[in-house]
A and B are shown apart, each in its own frame.
Chain A
Amino acid sequence: MIIMQNSRYLAFKALYKIESENAYSNLTLDSFLKNSDLDARNAAFVSSLFYGVLEKKLSLDYIISCFSSMRLKKIELKTLIILRLGVYQMVFMDKIPDSAAVNESVKICKKEKLYQSSGFVNGVLRSIARSEERFPLPDKGNVEEYLSVKYSCPKNIVSLWINDYSKEIAEEILNSLFGRSPVYVRVNTLKVTCDELIEMLKSEGIEAKAAPYPENALELNYVGSISETNCFKKGLFHVQDLSSQICCKVLSPWKNDIVSDVCSAPGGKAFNIAQRLNGTGTVFCSDIHEHKLRLIENGAKRLGIDNIKVYKRDALSIEPLEMSDRILCDVPCSGLGVIRRKPEIRYKNDLGLDTLPNIQYKILENSAQYLKSGGMLVYSTCTLHRAENGGVVDKFLVAHEEFEPVSVSDFLPESICSVIEEPCGQFTLFPQANNTDGFFISLMRKR
């Protein structure tokens, strides 16, 4: 026997799992949706509720604290999630009548046997419904608090961006965190051309257009499951943000090059590089996580790439690398550049902001010794945090005179602009400027 799924209840259960087990948002939602028999329309509703509540959690909690007689910390987790869902529908969603938001929230309380909470939830939501100002904001004088509530981003990240960049840039970044990220893919040039793939996607009902830069990047207008499409199954492309595609372009691998990609999983950049090598040379892909190596192998197989070698290696280990013409150190980072794709990153208690730079530096230093003279190395992250980006590179260049910075912007068209002043050899992509993930690329050559 099976019982009917209530969309809001499903969103509640998925959110509760995230909060109580620290699960990954995309995996959690996928498994809940897969196990339900909701049709596409209801699945989309669940998905918008789920991501909406995750994304706006701090804003929602602030609103709840303004209208609740109970202190936020005293509200039991399930009740708090039901409230967040209700408030989200009332404040941030169009077309949902207040009565529906209130009644459905009370129903979830009853389903969860939270009989005492149902009156409280009812009371808080009704007082929001009666209020003129549904989304009150803290005083603008307290910039960090104000921005934190307005954009639902923890204060430590807000202050970090204000300090690292400026108040204006911080607000621009914050403003860019909402809404869907564009979907970019890299054309598998081993199998098709850009124009051919656009046509083939079109015949599957998917609109695709070439990105202005770099070559062989397509932007897809598609909300369904990309891995279910024929073009994907045939290995005609892989999903990859423009920022990562630009990173591979900057690495500029040449025919017959030996390339080392030291933190490779899930392998997107290695695939791109292997395609640029057009079957020549070798890309040595290593990663510390055994289970993730399968992702690289499977991806390479699907794409028909045979010039990569996958193996397990800790990027900090003394195990030598092949002497390489190109090295990519796409190091583990705090991920502040991809919050738009993974809304829960910002709420992590320990982003590693203090410890990561040290690890990143060691990975860079350890890898760089295997670069051939005249070879090029790219150090990259998907974060917006100076200490993990320019901070690591500056320190490295001071300590290693045999390396010289090489201009990144020489590889980029004028349309890709920088928001901040950076030394030669460093370039930060900001989401608000280029509609990419936040990403840092630095390029250096060994003399």
Chain B
Amino acid sequence: MALRDIVKEGDRILTKKCRPVEKFDQKLATLLDDMAETLKLANGVGLAAPQVGILRRVCIVDIGDEEGLIELVNPEIIESEGTQSGAEGCLSCPNEYGIVERPMNVTVKAQNRNGEVFTIKGKELKARAFCHEIDHLNGIIFKQKVERMLRPDEIEDD
């Protein structure tokens, strides 16, 4: 396992659409392991491959609940329902947070690191994280969807 550098806003890689994963090999496994380590150290809840400079449809989510780390390869949102409005930030935009409207519930279809297809549901924070990360795979960062950015004095406590 190794830490990878997180690409910061302004880097054009974050604006590009990622290509699907076709080979489920050791290279993919290493990428996923490295991303998990990078996410943990950064204390984030989700990380997408383009954020570590890889233009492939791979992301991970870990909101710190009992489900633990979720690895998503070639994910798609197949169902979404309801809305929620709340603050989120991005590891590529340090110390910036904004209010973003997201679905309350989503169902995601994806493959695991061995290529097996599965579906997973998420609500509230997990739904938000799925949407945020899958947006990255399409070259979208949260600031493009933000209702408003928070002022520094609002960032103290939620």
Partners in one complex: yes
Q: Does A6 contact B (CB under 8 A)?
A: yes
Q: Does A1 contact B (CB under 8 A)?
A: yes
A4-B97 contact in complex given A35-B42, A42-B156, C-beta closer than 8 Å: yes
Cα-based distance from A39 to B154 in the complex (angstroms):
13
Within 8 A of B (CB), among A4-48: 4-8, 35-37, 39, 42
Contact B42 A1 (CB under 8 A): no
Name the B residues within 8 Å of A104 (CB-CB): 157
Cα-based distance from A7 to B97 in the complex (angstroms):
16
Name the A residues within 8 Å of B43 (CB-CB): 2, 5, 35-37
A2-B42 contact in complex given A37-B94, A37-B95, C-beta closer than 8 Å: yes
Q: How far is the CB of A368 from chain B (nearest CB, A)?
A: 47
Q: Does A3 contact B (CB under 8 A)?
A: yes
Option from B91, B129, B155 in Cβ contact (under 8 Å) with A4: B155
Cα-based distance from A7 to B88 in the complex (angstroms):
16
Cα-based distance from A1 to B141 in the complex (angstroms):
10
Option from A1, A5, A8, A36 in Cβ contact (under 8 Å) with B90: A1
Cα-based distance from A5 to B158 in the complex (angstroms):
7
Name the B residues within 8 Å of A42 (CB-CB): 156
Q: Does B87 contact A (CB under 8 A)?
A: yes
Residue of B with least CB distance to A3? B45
Determine chain B's interface SS by DSSP, over half rule: mixed
Sort chain A's interface into a size bin.
10 to 19
Q: Does B44 contact A (CB under 8 A)?
A: yes
Contact B158 A2 (CB under 8 A): no
Name the A residues within 8 Å of B90 (CB-CB): 1-2
Contact B91 A2 (CB under 8 A): yes
Within 8 A of A (CB), among B28-59: 41-47
Q: Does B89 contact A (CB under 8 A)?
A: yes
Q: How far is the CB of B138 from chain A (nearest CB, A)?
A: 15
Contact A1 B129 (CB under 8 A): yes
Cα-based distance from A5 to B44 in the complex (angstroms):
10
Residue of B with least CB distance to A7? B157
A1-B158 contact in complex given A35-B41, A36-B43, A37-B94, C-beta closer than 8 Å: no
A1-B128 contact in complex given A35-B42, A37-B94, C-beta closer than 8 Å: yes
Contact A1 B157 (CB under 8 A): no
Contact B46 A1 (CB under 8 A): yes
Q: How far is the CB of A215 from chain B (nearest CB, A)?
A: 43
Cα-based distance from A6 to B133 in the complex (angstroms):
22
Q: Does B146 contact A (CB under 8 A)?
A: no
Cα-based distance from A5 to B88 in the complex (angstroms):
11
Question: Which of A3, A4, A35, A42 gathers most chain B CB within 10 Å?
Answer: A3
Cα-based distance from A386 to B65 in the complex (angstroms):
49
Question: Which of A2, A7, A36 gathers most chain B CB within 10 Å?
Answer: A2
List 20 A-B pairs, Cβ < 8 Å. A1-B44, A1-B90, A1-B91, A1-B128, A1-B132, A1-B142, A2-B42, A2-B43, A2-B44, A2-B45, A2-B89, A2-B91, A3-B125, A4-B87, A8-B157, A35-B41, A35-B43, A37-B94, A39-B95, A104-B157
